[in-house]
Structures are given as structure tokens and as C-alpha cells.
Structure 1
Amino acid sequence: MVYSWYVNFLESFALPNIDVFNFIVPWGETLIGLGLMLGCLTTAAIVFGLVMNFSFFLAGTVSHNPTDIFLGFIILTAGYNAGRYGLDHWVVPFIRKTIGKSKEKATA
């Protein structure tokens, strides 16, 4: 099944900018994979992974994408505990502390 509004997006935006998409998609897949394997920004990685899977699914690709979307939602739900293992244990508190400092400066 192909969605006409998504085909319109592909024809009017994605195809004219194919050079950008040829750069973004492989790098996105690589960064998503590294994020999930290393446990670094796990929740962000799975959200972007789900966006990519939905994009492939909406484009009419019939393969294992529905299964990947289902597994992605399971990982997204489990991502709440991702801070216990992997790089999120150190990265997420650092980001929260850094953002907290910038918010304090902005209000002062």
C-alpha cells in the first residue's frame, strides 16, 4: 500500500534533494546503530530509528519493517532504564547538568 501524500512528499521534496538524502540516510543509520550498540542517547536513537522505519514503510517497502517498528516501540519503552548500562549512565546526567546551567544563566 502506498500513501499518496507520502508519494507527493517523495516526488516534490525528496527526489529533487536526492544528494542530501543520500548523505543523511547512511549517516543516520550508522549513528542510530552506534547509539543503540553503545547505549549512548538510546531514546533519541530509537526515536530516529522509528522515524526512518516509518518512512520506509510509508514509501511502500514491504519487508520486515512492521516487525522492526514493533521492536522499536519495545526498545523505546525499555529506554527509560537505559541509563543503568552503557554510555547513557554518564552522558545523560552530563547533558541534564549542562542544560540546567544554561537555563539558570538565561533566567538570571
Structure 2
Amino acid sequence: MKSFLKNSLLVAWAFVIVRVYLSYMWLSNAENKLVYDFNIGPMLEGQVNSGQLPGFWAGFMKTFVLPFTDIFEALVTVGELCVGIALLAGIFLRFSALMGAIMNFSFLMTFQAGLDLQMMILQVILIVFATQAGRIGLDRYVQPGLRQLFRRQTRKESYA
């Protein structure tokens, strides 16, 4: 079974479908934020004051997010664009899926609804099987060069 998951071209193409689906979701969310007026402040304030959020998360939202909603709105939009593009291109899959899962986690903690749980589960699967998921994509060409680069730097540091 492990060999099948690691070497099967069919599994690689299945991961391409998952990547394209997730990419579409991220890019369409980013597009909606860019095209329409994205003002999350009043909604966030309502969620925080509703008493439905866990205490630590409500404290985090009051202290760090609500005072800087403009910055967080821009960060979320840029993050969604970057994750969507990276998943579509198949580059830096583990990192982009991890960043997407972290954003989905924060959306789940705040709004407790939507497709965020489904997207987070699919992204965790991509993180676990990133080697196979990047087989058809730019990771196939980029990762070997990055490995060599980091190996050289590690060797130089160990001799110094």
C-alpha cells in the first residue's frame, strides 16, 4: 500500500485534482475580497463580543486583530492569493498547504462554519503526502535544487 501511494501516477494525478480544487477555492476567495469591499471589522467585533469564541481566541482577537483589522484584511487577501497560486503551480506544496491550513484553522476558530474544515483536511493530506503531491508540478524541478543548495551550506558551516 505504501509503495502504491508513493509510486503511483494515478495517486499523483488525484493530488493534482485536490490541488486544483483547493487553489480554485483560495483564488476565488481572494478575488471576492479584491473585487468587493472587504471590511471584516464589524463582523469580527460581533463574533468576539458574542461569547461563542474560546477564551484564549477571543483574547487574541481583541488584543491583536481588532485594533489592526486593515492590516489583517490585507494579509488574509495576500495569503489567499499566494496559497492559491502555489497550490495551482505545485510549488512549495508543504509550506503553502501548511499556511492554508493555518488560515483555515483561524477561520474555523472565529466563524465556526463554511468549507474551512473540508479545506483544512485536504491541506493536511497534501502536507503528509507532499512528495507525491508535487510529483506533477513545479516542486518536481525546484526541490532537488533546493536540497543541493541547503546541503552545500550545511557542509560549509560544519567545516567552519
Give yes or no for TM over 0.5: yes
Aligned to 1:59: 110
3-state DSSP class of the match of 1:62? coil
- Following TM superposition, the consecutive aligned residue runs of length 4 or more in structure 1 with deviations greater than 3 angstroms are none
Percent sequence identity over matched residues?
28
C-alpha separation in 1, matches of 2:75 and 2:147: 27
Aligned pair count reads 108
C-alpha separation in 1, matches of 2:121 and 2:153: 37
- Give the letter aligned to residue 63 of structure 1: G
The partner residue of 2:84 within 30, 33, 44 is 33
8 A Cα contact 2:87 2:93, kept in partner: yes
Larger Rg, first or second structure (1 or 2): 2
- Give the letter aligned to residue 10 of structure 1: M
C-alpha separation in 1, matches of 2:107 and 2:151: 37
Aligned to 1:2: 53
Unpaired segments ≥5 residues, structure 1: none
- Are 1:71 and 2:135 matched, yes or no? no
Supply the RMSD in Å over aligned alpha carbons: 1.5
- Are 1:16 and 2:67 matched, yes or no? yes
Tell me the TM-score normalized by structure 1.
Answer: 0.88
The partner residue of 1:88 within 119, 135, 139 is 139
- Give the letter aligned to residue 97 of structure 1: Q
C-alpha separation in 2, matches of 1:20 and 1:107: 41
Tell me the TM-score normalized by structure 2.
Answer: 0.62
